[in-house]
Amino acid sequence: MLVVEDDPINRLIYGMVFSHFDADISYAFDGEAALKLCDLNKYELIISDMGLPGIMGYDVVKEIRNATADNSLNKYTPVIAVTAESSPLVQIRAIQAGVDAYVHKPYNLTEFRNLLGKYIKLKENV
Q: What's the domain range around 113?
A: 2-117
User: pLDDT tens digits for 9-30?
Assistant: 999 988 888 887 777 899 999 9
pTM of the model: 0.91
Number of domains the chain is built from = 1
Instruction: Please check whether residue 84 lies inside any domain of the structure.
Output: yes
Instruction: Please check whether residue 105 lies inside any domain of the structure.
Output: yes
Instruction: Please check whether residue 125 lies inside any domain of the structure.
Output: no
How far the first Cα of the chain sits from its last, in Å, is 19
Whole-number mean pLDDT of the chain? 89
Q: Of all residues in the chain, what percent carry a pLDDT higher than 70?
A: 94
Instruction: Say if CB 93 and CB 58 are below 8 A apart.
Output: yes
Instruction: Please check whether residue 126 lies inside any domain of the structure.
Output: no
Instruction: Please check whether residue 122 lies inside any domain of the structure.
Output: no
Instruction: Please check whether residue 43 lies inside any domain of the structure.
Output: yes
Q: Can you give the CATH number for the domain in which 89 is found? A: 3.40.50.2300
pLDDT score at 70? 62
Instruction: Please check whether residue 123 lies inside any domain of the structure.
Output: no
